[in-house]
Amino acid sequence: MEKGRSYTLRIWRQENATKKGKLAKYKIENISPGSSFLEMLDILNDELSKKGEDPVHFDHDCREGICGMCSLFINGRPHGPDEEITVCQLHMRVFPDKQTITIEPWRAKAFPVIKDLVVDRTAFDRIVQAGGYISVNTGAAIDANTLPIPRVDAESAMDAASCIGCGACVATCKNASAMLFTAAKVSQLALLPQGKVERKIRAAKMVAQMDIEGFGACTNTGACSAECPKGIDLSVIARMNREYFTSKLTT
Amino acid sequence: MVLDSKIPDGPLAEKWTKHKFNLKLVNPSNKRKYDIIVVGTGLAGASAAASFGELGYNVKAFFYQDSARRAHSIAAQGGINAAKNYTNDGDSIFRLFYDTIKGGDYRSREANVYRLAEVSNNIIDQCVAQGVPFARDYGGLLDNRSFGGAQVSRTFYARGQTGQQLLLGAYSTLSRQVASGKVKLFPRTEMLDLVLIDGKARGIITRNMITGKVESHSAHAVVLATGGYGNVFFLSTNAMGCNGSAVWRAHKKGAIFSNPCFTQIHPTCIPVHGDQQSKLTLMSESLRNDGRVWVPKTVEIAEKLRKGGIKPKDITEEDRDYYLERIYPAFGNLVPRDVASRNAKNVCDEGRGVGETGLAVFLDFRDSIKRDGVDVIKAKYGNLFQMYEKIVAENPYETPMMIYPAVHYTMGGLWVDYNLQTTIPGLYASGECNFSDHGANRLGASALMQGLADGYFVLPYTIGDYLSEMPYDKIPEDHPEFKKAEDIVNQRIEKLFSINGTKTVDEFHKELGLIMWEKCGMSRNEKRLKEAKEEIKKLREEYWKNVKVLGVNEELNMTLEKALRVADFMELAELMVDDAAIRNESCGGHFREESQTPEGEAKRDDENFTFVSAWEFQGEGKPEKMHKEELKFENVKLTQRSYK
């Protein structure tokens, strides 16, 4: 087994939402290249706890790249240097020995810092509450196979539905826009026949909520899609724009 | 204590229909007078909360994550079972029922399982209507795949992200109810106790994880949908935050706990790589549809392989032992999880394991890639292969995957009757946190089915029956019982801060996990269980003298959160060991070395153990009292489970 590596970490520390934060420096040694990035932070936290220092707070849960909880900005990139994964799937083997690693929270007006690297992303929930659903009550469904859906549409809907709501798209966007997140949900439901009934009102309401939350406008730089851990395609934004403008033109 | 399962009379297939008619109703305009608390927003919780909201009840939904969409149901990969028989291969409600009873090794209730199979079809319809993008064939109709323990293809799936898509479906319906004002969400809020007034569940005590504020919430009924307690083992496939505190607190307030020792060890997880690990990653069971499980035929070859002298591809066909196909020709690689796990352990114990640690077996796609082509395999499992490559840094298209069993699911949980009510009136348990449907072993793709069945199609009916008898009056949150419970929670928090010892919470948790894995894991015997009990007791005593919890209560403090959870795990672990000790038979995921056939297969003892154990808390420091719910089988014949 390869010998452990050592790193210098610069980590954003901020006591709570109202206090000012700053980058603090830590040394860490003997990290196995097979360890995940979050396991490396676990080890740091264990060491800090032993020394009587408050551990670094960061969001994480499933550690399988699907819950969307982990949200670290590493060396200037959301979820770090590797492609199409979340931080919890990032492994230390991609960081050369003795490297300095800078770790910051998502930064966006709509995602205020709660503590250290933990931010408040409930704005995303409110965008979905504005219309990211099909209005069907439990028990009111028809047999699933009475509604054939062309495979290509089902697959495209699935591509869009893969969004994990982590917020990397917002964190990487220079305008802190939530277009990719919102458009992914709008696209998924617009592509399926079940979702067509409410398509106009859905796009209009979700876009309006996005603005209320303080997310920025989209200037089509495409950073969101490039950094998306699930590879959500930029074309979902074009589809949402279409949905949105149709809703404005025909209501 | 009399355990009344309230199973309705009549033929199996008519019980649920008849029961639904006999349940009392709450008038639509009176539903708004009732408040319901739902704890947990996974499939079981989100579906229940949304359905209650649709009916008109006022719902408060609590969860520890920052968003309801992140509950751990999201990580389920493979699929969800339903008896649609779209594939024309002989499936039926009765067959799904039968497979589930048999898969659970005849330790679950016939009536509950039949109902589960019965509503399975409605679940698929409901999810499609919500916009869940299930896999489809070129004709636009739904596709199926096969899972372990079944000889029909009945598993619906959305790539390797079925749990995610079903949860996002439930989350979207929940969001719709939030928008309508019927559901109020409480993110980053953890339940720390249950409050009983006049013997009924009337509310919960929570801690706001951002402000540290301990608060009371009053309601007419409480639903726990808080998932499993697999994290007792420290390393498991559960999310880091999954915990048993809500059910354990309910247990200590009088809810009976059933079959705590029934733990599912999932055969296809990525092997442990070293002591820095904090989480195990599951690879979907669906991989066993096309992957072949093998180890080298001899210890010598395995040793050479482990030292890196040879590569897997250098091992000839004759030197490979496809042990599942050899021992179980009828089911082959698709035997149920407990059987697959135990066999992996056996071949590794023989010294034929692979990987650096020798604690791994191969899952090989060479033959299916040859048969179907890379593109077909990629379309089916692409994201799983990608995930594997990111973690292990090996390409599974070229070299076989390595897998090893890991703790995945807990079949045990709070005892519930046919209405999913616990032994505390007004307290319900749904999904993984109850004991009811999976017996001693859960079949693949059945957890998603149960979570949604309970939440969409069972609780919305049964809870009305209870509420219809309840007065509308609300209990104020400054009622003395709430204040008393808040004080006890606050004292526990203060106590943890005051210890200021030398060992971290994680160190204790790792020690507990190791005891449980070694002595109450895949293989159990009386001697080791006795040792485990003593060791856990000692560890628990040490915990309350020597744990180190830093920071303050009044802000986000993840050490404190964990310290509270681990304290409860320490008590729950002991009950798991007690339960494993009294069950001197092998069934499902519970393998007692004292009870095996000459070939080393699990041997059930129906004469003495055809019951559900039901543990009653007797007070701090006192041994728990075990009751039994005898299981009656009127529709299936008990046979020794054979997958040969």
Residue A247's pLDDT is 86
Residue B571's pLDDT is 98
What is the mean pLDDT of the segment spanning B451-478?
98
Residue B147's pLDDT is 84
Residue B278's pLDDT is 86
Residue B640's pLDDT is 83
Question: What is the per-residue pLDDT across B285-307, written as a single tens digit (0 to 9) for each?
Answer: 889 989 999 999 999 999 999 99
Quote the mean pLDDT of chain A.
96
Find, among B243, B84, B153, the residue nearest to B564 by Cα. Answer: B243
Residue B230's pLDDT is 98
Q: What domains lie within chain B, and their CATH numbers?
A: 266-408 (3.90.700.10)
Q: Say whether residue B144 is in contact with chain A using an 8 A CB cutoff.
A: no
CA–CA gap between residue B361 and residue B344 (Å, rounded): 7
Judged by CB atoms closer than 8 Å, whether chains meet at A39 and B277 is answered as yes
**What is the amino acid identity at position A226?**
A
Question: What is the per-residue pLDDT across B228-272, written as a single tens digit (0 to 9) for each?
Answer: 999 999 999 999 999 999 999 999 999 999 999 999 999 999 998
Ranking A80-84, B35-39, B377-381, B518-522 by mean pLDDT, the lowest is: B377-381
Residues of B identified as active-site:
337
Residue A96's pLDDT is 97
Q: Say whether residue B379 is in contact with chain A using an 8 A CB cutoff.
A: no
Query: Confidence band (pLDDT; 50, 70, 90) for B119?
Result: very high
Under a CB-based contact definition with an 8 Å cutoff, are residues B196 and B253 in contact? Answer: yes
- Which residue of A31, A63, A137 is in closest CB contact with B240? A63
Task: Write down the pTM of the prediction.
Answer: 0.97
Three-class SS state of B234:
coil
Residue B285's pLDDT is 83
Residue B580 in this model has a pLDDT that exceeds 80: yes
What is the mean pLDDT of the segment spanning B24-39?
98
DSSP line for B329-398: TTTGGGS-HHHHHHHHHHHHHTT---STTS--EEEE-HHHHHHH-HHHHHHHHHHHHHHHHHHH---TTT
Query: Confidence band (pLDDT; 50, 70, 90) for A251?
Result: low
Q: Say whether residue B108 is in contact with chain A using an 8 A CB cutoff.
A: no
Distance from CA of B37 to the nearest CA of A (A): 19
Query: Confidence band (pLDDT; 50, 70, 90) for B276?
Result: confident
Q: Say whether residue B394 is in contact with chain A using an 8 A CB cutoff.
A: no
Residue B318's pLDDT is 96
Residue B148's pLDDT is 79
Q: Say whether residue B548 is in contact with chain A using an 8 A CB cutoff.
A: yes
Residue A1's pLDDT is 52
Residue B1 in this model has a pLDDT that exceeds 90: no
> How many whole angstroms from its chain centre is CA A202?
21
Residue B277's pLDDT is 86
Residue A189's pLDDT is 98
CA–CA gap between residue B641 and residue B644 (Å, rounded): 9
What is the mean pLDDT of the segment spanning B434-441?
96
What is the mean pLDDT of the segment spanning B7-15?
97
Q: Where are the alpha helices (DSSP H) in chain A?
A: 37-51, 122-129, 151-161, 168-172, 179-191, 199-212, 223-227, 235-250
Residue B427's pLDDT is 98
Query: In degrees rounded to 5, what are phi and psi of residue B548?
Result: -115, 115
Judged by CB atoms closer than 8 Å, whether chains meet at A64 and B387 is answered as yes
B contact test, residue of A133, A142, A194 with most B CBs within 10 A: A133
Ranking A202-216, B142-156, B423-437 by mean pLDDT, the lowest is: B142-156
Residue B173 in this model has a pLDDT that exceeds 80: yes
What is the mean pLDDT of the segment spanning B468-473?
98
Residue B492 in this model has a pLDDT that exceeds 90: yes
**SS3 annotation, B79-131:** CEECCCCCCCCCCCHHHHHHHHHHHCCCCCCHHHHHHHHHHHHHHHHHHHHHC
What is the mean pLDDT of the segment spanning B39-58?
98
CA–CA gap between residue B322 and residue B319 (Å, rounded): 10
Residue A2's pLDDT is 65
Residues 2-21 of chain B whose Cβ lies under 8 A from any Cβ of chain A = none
Reported ipTM: the value is 0.98
Please report, rounded to a whole number, the percentage of residues in chain B having pLDDT higher than 90.
91
Residue B258's pLDDT is 98
Quote the mean pLDDT of chain B.
96
Distance from CA of A119 to the nearest CA of B (A): 9
Judged by CB atoms closer than 8 Å, whether chains meet at B72 and A61 is answered as yes
Under a CB-based contact definition with an 8 Å cutoff, are residues B626 and B256 in contact? Answer: no
Instruction: Name every residue whose Cβ is closer than 8 Å to that of residue B374 and which is 6 or more positions away in sequence.
Output: B397
Residue B78's pLDDT is 84
Q: What domains lie within chain A, and their CATH numbers?
A: 5-115 (3.10.20.30), 121-250 (1.10.1060.10)
DSSP line for B536-569: HHHHHHHHHHHEE--S-TTS--HHHHHHHHHHHH
- Which residue of A34, A141, A145 is in closest CB contact with B142? A145
Query: Confidence band (pLDDT; 50, 70, 90) for B329?
Result: very high
Judged by CB atoms closer than 8 Å, whether chains meet at A61 and B559 is answered as no
- Which residue of B178, B277, B556 is in closest CB contact with A114? B556
Judged by CB atoms closer than 8 Å, whether chains meet at A142 and B276 is answered as no
Question: What is the per-residue pLDDT across A80-110, written as a single tens digit (0 to 9) for each?
Answer: 999 999 999 999 999 999 999 999 999 999 9
Judged by CB atoms closer than 8 Å, whether chains meet at A149 and B240 is answered as no
